[in-house]
Chains A and B, each alone.
Chain A
Amino acid sequence: MLLSLSSKGTFPMTVETVRLRGRSAAPGLAAGRISNLANGVAKTSSFGSPEAERAALEQAMANAASELRALAGSQPREAAQILEFQLTLLEDEDLCAPAFAEIGVGARAGQAWARALDTQIADYKASNDEYFRARASDFIDIRDRVSRALSRESNAAPVLPDGAILVADDLAPSHFLEIDWTRGAGIALKAGSATSHVATLARARGVPMVVSLGDIPAAEGEWVLLDGERGEVEIGPSEARLADWRARVAGLAKRRADETSLAKAPAITRSGQRILTLVNIQGLGDLSPEAAHGDGVGLVRTEFLFEPGRAPPGEAAQYQAYRAILDWAGGKPVIIRALDAGGDKPIAGVTFDGEANPFLGVRGLRLLLRRPEVFGTQLRALARAGATGNLKVMLPMVTTPAELAEARAHLDAAMAELEAERLPARSPPLGVMVEVPAAALTIDRFDADFYSIGSNDLVQYVTACDRGAGELATLADPLNPAVLELIRRTVEHGKKTGAPVSLCGDMAADPRCAPALIDCGLQAFSVAPSALGRLKAAIARCG
Chain B
Amino acid sequence: MTAFSDPGSASPRNVVAASVRLRHEAGLHARPSVKLTKLAKRFSSRISLAASADGPWIDAKSIVKLMATKTPYDSILHFRAEGADAQAAVDALVALVEGDFPDDG
Whether B30 and A92, one on each chain, are in contact in the complex, defined by CB atoms closer than 8 angstroms, is: no
Whether A127 and B74, one on each chain, are in contact in the complex, defined by CB atoms closer than 8 angstroms, is: no
Bound-state Cα–Cα, A324 to B73, Å: 12
Whether B25 and A88, one on each chain, are in contact in the complex, defined by CB atoms closer than 8 angstroms, is: no
Chain B residues in 8 Å Cβ range of A84: 34
Whether B63 and A285, one on each chain, are in contact in the complex, defined by CB atoms closer than 8 angstroms, is: no
Min CB distance A242 to B, Å, is 40
Q: Which B37-52 residues have C-beta < 8 A from chain A?
A: 37-38
Chain B residues in 8 Å Cβ range of A197: 30
Min CB distance B73 to A, Å, is 7
Whether A94 and B65, one on each chain, are in contact in the complex, defined by CB atoms closer than 8 angstroms, is: yes
Whether A285 and B25, one on each chain, are in contact in the complex, defined by CB atoms closer than 8 angstroms, is: yes
B31 sits at the interface (CB 8 A): yes
Bound-state Cα–Cα, A93 to B73, Å: 27
Chain A residues in 8 Å Cβ range of B95: none
Bound-state Cα–Cα, A127 to B67, Å: 12
Report which A residues bind B (CB closer than 8 A): 81-82, 84-85, 88-89, 92-95, 120, 123, 127, 129, 131-132, 135, 138, 197, 283-285, 287, 307, 317, 320-321, 324
Scoring A84, A88, A93 by chain B CB atoms within 10 A of each residue's CB, the highest score goes to A88
Nearest residue, chain A, Cβ from B61: A92
Bound-state Cα–Cα, A148 to B26, Å: 32
Bound-state Cα–Cα, A498 to B26, Å: 39
Whether A129 and B27, one on each chain, are in contact in the complex, defined by CB atoms closer than 8 angstroms, is: yes
Nearest residue, chain A, Cβ from B21: A320
Bound-state Cα–Cα, A182 to B72, Å: 38
Chain A residues in 8 Å Cβ range of B33: 85, 88
Min CB distance A135 to B, Å, is 7
Whether A95 and B64, one on each chain, are in contact in the complex, defined by CB atoms closer than 8 angstroms, is: yes
6 additional contacts (CB under 8 A) given A85-B33, A129-B27, A283-B25:
A85-B34, A94-B64, A131-B26, A132-B27, A284-B73, A321-B74
B5 sits at the interface (CB 8 A): no
Min CB distance A49 to B, Å, is 27
Whether A82 and B30, one on each chain, are in contact in the complex, defined by CB atoms closer than 8 angstroms, is: yes
Whether A123 and B31, one on each chain, are in contact in the complex, defined by CB atoms closer than 8 angstroms, is: no
Whether B63 and A135, one on each chain, are in contact in the complex, defined by CB atoms closer than 8 angstroms, is: no
Whether A129 and B74, one on each chain, are in contact in the complex, defined by CB atoms closer than 8 angstroms, is: no
Chain B residues in 8 Å Cβ range of A285: 25-26
Whether B31 and A127, one on each chain, are in contact in the complex, defined by CB atoms closer than 8 angstroms, is: no
Chain A residues in 8 Å Cβ range of B38: 88
Chain B residues in 8 Å Cβ range of A131: 26-27, 29
Min CB distance B76 to A, Å, is 11
Min CB distance A227 to B, Å, is 28
Chain B residues in 8 Å Cβ range of A120: 64, 68
Chain B residues in 8 Å Cβ range of A307: 72
Chain B residues in 8 Å Cβ range of A89: 63-64, 67
Bound-state Cα–Cα, A284 to B23, Å: 10
Chain A residues in 8 Å Cβ range of B34: 81, 84-85, 88
Whether B25 and A284, one on each chain, are in contact in the complex, defined by CB atoms closer than 8 angstroms, is: yes
Chain A residues in 8 Å Cβ range of B59: 94
Whether A85 and B70, one on each chain, are in contact in the complex, defined by CB atoms closer than 8 angstroms, is: no
Chain B residues in 8 Å Cβ range of A324: 23
Min CB distance A78 to B, Å, is 10
Whether A94 and B25, one on each chain, are in contact in the complex, defined by CB atoms closer than 8 angstroms, is: no
A–B pairs, 6, beta carbons within 8 Å? A88-B63, A129-B70, A132-B29, A138-B30, A287-B25, A317-B74
Bound-state Cα–Cα, A131 to B59, Å: 22
Min CB distance B55 to A, Å, is 17
Bound-state Cα–Cα, A324 to B72, Å: 16
Bound-state Cα–Cα, A36 to B33, Å: 34
Chain B residues in 8 Å Cβ range of A85: 30-31, 33-34, 63
Bound-state Cα–Cα, A84 to B70, Å: 19
Nearest residue, chain B, Cβ from A324: B23
Bound-state Cα–Cα, A94 to B72, Å: 22
Bound-state Cα–Cα, A80 to B81, Å: 30
Bound-state Cα–Cα, A285 to B100, Å: 13
Bound-state Cα–Cα, A138 to B64, Å: 12
Nearest residue, chain B, Cβ from A313: B74
Bound-state Cα–Cα, A84 to B32, Å: 12
Which residue in A82, A93, A129 is a CB contact (below 8 Å) of B72? A129
Nearest residue, chain A, Cβ from B2: A320
Which residue in A93, A138, A320 is a CB contact (below 8 Å) of B74? A320
Min CB distance B65 to A, Å, is 6
Whether B25 and A132, one on each chain, are in contact in the complex, defined by CB atoms closer than 8 angstroms, is: no
Bound-state Cα–Cα, A84 to B35, Å: 10
Bound-state Cα–Cα, A421 to B63, Å: 44
Scoring B25, B31, B33, B68 by chain A CB atoms within 10 A of each residue's CB, the highest score goes to B25
Chain A residues in 8 Å Cβ range of B68: 120, 123
Given contacts A283-B25, A321-B74, contact A135 B31 (CB under 8 A): no
Whether B31 and A81, one on each chain, are in contact in the complex, defined by CB atoms closer than 8 angstroms, is: yes
Chain B residues in 8 Å Cβ range of A82: 30
Chain B residues in 8 Å Cβ range of A92: 37, 62-64
Chain B residues in 8 Å Cβ range of A127: 70
Scoring A84, A92, A127, A138 by chain B CB atoms within 10 A of each residue's CB, the highest score goes to A92
Bound-state Cα–Cα, A317 to B70, Å: 18
Bound-state Cα–Cα, A283 to B37, Å: 26
